Structure 1
Amino acid sequence: MTGKRISFEFFPPKTAEGLDKLLGVQQKLLVKNPEFFSCTYGAGGSTRDNTINTVNRLRAQHADTAPHLSCIGQGRDELVELINHYRDSGVTRIVALRGDLPSGMGYAQGELKYADDLVALIREISGDHFTLEVAAYPEMHPQARSFDDDIEHFKRKIDAGANHGITQYFYNADAYGFYLDALQKKGCTAPVYPGIMPILNVANLLRFSSTCGADIPRWLASKLNDIKDDDAAVKAFGTEIVTRLCERLLAMGAPGLHFYTMNQAGPTLKVLDNLGL
């Protein structure tokens, strides 16, 4: 399994203590020689300053770090300022997203509407300086009108200048395979990296999955419900399930794995150790 790209995603901590802890988590994950870390960006840019600060601190530990950048709810000038800031500070990779508005806010008129618009803007003002990662949805974006429409949305992001896709997390490997087949039929051959979510807490997983459109297979939900009050059992079973999923994805030809770490090292390290990566 050599030559597979590994990357890790963090969210920006709200406190200085949380950031210090995250830097310790990063040190533990660096032993796996990831290609990059990424740092999320809150709805409507709500974590802008925290994201910038977290990216700077992560990069200070000699690790390639990609800030997430979303366009919904933000003006073009504000986006241009951020893009130029990242370019001038030496950042070479961005995760470019449409993003969501904070709860209770209406759709922002007059702004860039979709991720392909943001990709085009980044290319317009910075050329090929950045490697651009964009979102992919093997189980379909919850707001997509159809599966084919969702495929077209991803292709437009690649056509606008994005380099790679990173998927929403999922637990059905066949969905990933079908998604790649659909892209290839459209002539889109950009690498798509599976997003991997360790299973840490049943209630949190089910709640988050219901809002982001990630499907939890019935058999998996039933098993997790049986053991939900036993944290050790949940983590052990979760490690086994996620390891099997990753094994199958890599056997299917996935070019690597992107881990949603939830700012923890242990669960992701266990899976990577099991995989021999």
Structure 2
Amino acid sequence: MPTPSVSFEFFPPKTLQASFRLWDCARTLAPLAPDWVSVTYGAGGTTRDLTREAVAALGQEFGLRVAGHLTCVEASREETLETARGFRKAGVEDIVALRGDPPKGSDGFVAHPEGFASSVELIEALAAEGFRVRVGCYPDTHPEAASADADIAWLKRKIDAGACEAITQFFFDAETFLRFRDRCAAAGIDAPIVPGLLPIEDWTKASKFARACGAVIPDDLAAAFETALRDDRADLLAVAHASELADTLVGEGVEHLHFYTLNRPELTRDVCHALGLTSRAALSRVA
């Protein structure tokens, strides 16, 4: 079975301790030679400057191809595009374009009066600036979507606006992704659909996040984690589950996997090793 290529998502640090954690995460995963890595953008644009600084540092210090996240929230069009141009000054040509989560305490997304009204408008503007644009998608259907078909129709609009590929929200069952991929193809979406995987470090937090974003939690997986937590085997189960999920996807023709690391690299590294990805350092020692 072929070895997939991979990419990793990081958080921008908000404290000195978090900066060390991000650095350790990059140092652990960079030897796996990811195609690219991304740095997220906080709700309401709260980490705009931190994201830009982290993007620049990861590229300079680790030689990684870095994508900055960019959203439509709480900024004018010019402010948003100025952030994008700041990425470019740091050597970044890749952007993950998202509508973005509204600030905490708000009732929902409200466009800035001088800002982009939707992710489609943002994608069009970034593509016109010459960026390579990736977007998000939801195999379990976005919580705000009118229907699963409407969700896929919106994804097609994003691809038609200039996005080169879509990265899914995390999911727990391979069939969820495979059915979604088939439905995207049937809708005329010919851009790659990349599965986003979350090695589960904290089951309580992961399940809470899953409920918030509409990801379906299989009953047998929930029961397995409850047992593993009692037996202090949660990490072993997390690696086994993510590795089996990834292996199944690769067997179904998936060529690239995107990992949500949460700046905790060990589980992601172990899953990659299980898939046959060997670090460049290890290879050089063998040579």
* Preserved contact between residue 201 and residue 228 of structure 1 (Cα < 8 Å): no
Q: CA deviation at 1:104?
A: 1.8
- Partner Cα separation in structure 1 for residue 56 and residue 16 of structure 2: 14
Q: CA deviation at 1:3?
A: 6.3
Q: What's the counterpart of residue 265 of structure 1?
A: 265
- Partner Cα separation in structure 2 for residue 59 and residue 141 of structure 1: 32
Q: Is 2:25 the counterpart of 1:25?
A: yes
Alpha-carbon displacement from aligned partner over 1:171-196 (angstroms, at most 9, x marks no partner): 11111111111111121111111001
Q: Which 5+ residue runs of structure 2 have no aligned equivalent?
A: 278-287
Q: Sort the Cα spacing of 1:109 and 1:59 in 2 relative to 1 into closer, same or farther, 3 A.
A: closer
- Partner Cα separation in structure 2 for residue 119 and residue 3 of structure 1: 31
Provide TM-score, normalisation by structure 1.
0.94
Matched to 1:254, the amino acid is V
Q: What's the counterpart of residue 256 of structure 2?
A: 256
* Preserved contact between residue 29 and residue 265 of structure 2 (Cα < 8 Å): yes
Q: Secondary structure at the match of 2:145?
A: coil
The total of aligned residue pairs comes to 273
Q: What's the counterpart of residue 114 of structure 1?
A: 118
Q: CA deviation at 1:219?
A: 0.8
Q: CA deviation at 1:143?
A: 0.8
* Preserved contact between residue 98 and residue 136 of structure 2 (Cα < 8 Å): yes
- Partner Cα separation in structure 2 for residue 275 and residue 268 of structure 1: 11
Provide TM-score, normalisation by structure 2.
0.91
Matched to 1:84, the amino acid is R
Q: What's the counterpart of residue 149 of structure 1?
A: 150
* Preserved contact between residue 228 and residue 237 of structure 2 (Cα < 8 Å): no
Q: What's the counterpart of residue 127 of structure 2?
A: 123
Alpha-carbon displacement from aligned partner over 1:148-174 (angstroms, at most 9, x marks no partner): 000011111110000011100001111
Q: CA deviation at 1:75?
A: 1.1
* Preserved contact between residue 3 and residue 275 of structure 2 (Cα < 8 Å): no
Q: CA deviation at 1:119?
A: 0.4
Which shows bigger deviation, 112-121 or 257-266?
Answer: 112-121
RMSD: 1.5
Q: Secondary structure at the match of 2:169?
A: strand
Alignment of 1:81-120 (within 5 A): 81-106=82-107, 107-110=110-113, 111-120=115-124
* Preserved contact between residue 134 and residue 163 of structure 2 (Cα < 8 Å): yes
- Partner Cα separation in structure 1 for residue 117 and residue 218 of structure 2: 32
Alignment of 1:121-270 (within 5 A): 121-124=125-128, 126-127=129-130, 130-230=131-231, 232-270=232-270
**Matched-pair identity in %:** 38
Q: What's the counterpart of residue 74 of structure 1?
A: 75
- Partner Cα separation in structure 2 for residue 157 and residue 87 of structure 1: 22
* Preserved contact between residue 192 and residue 255 of structure 1 (Cα < 8 Å): no
- Partner Cα separation in structure 2 for residue 3 and residue 221 of structure 1: 29
Q: CA deviation at 1:123?
A: 1.8
Q: CA deviation at 1:113?
A: 2.6
Q: Which 5+ residue runs of structure 1 have no aligned equivalent?
A: none
Alpha-carbon displacement from aligned partner over 1:101-125 (angstroms, at most 9, x marks no partner): 111235235332321111001123x
Q: Secondary structure at the match of 2:205?
A: helix
Q: Secondary structure at the match of 1:29?
A: helix
- Partner Cα separation in structure 1 for residue 126 and residue 157 of structure 2: 15
Q: CA deviation at 1:18?
A: 2.0
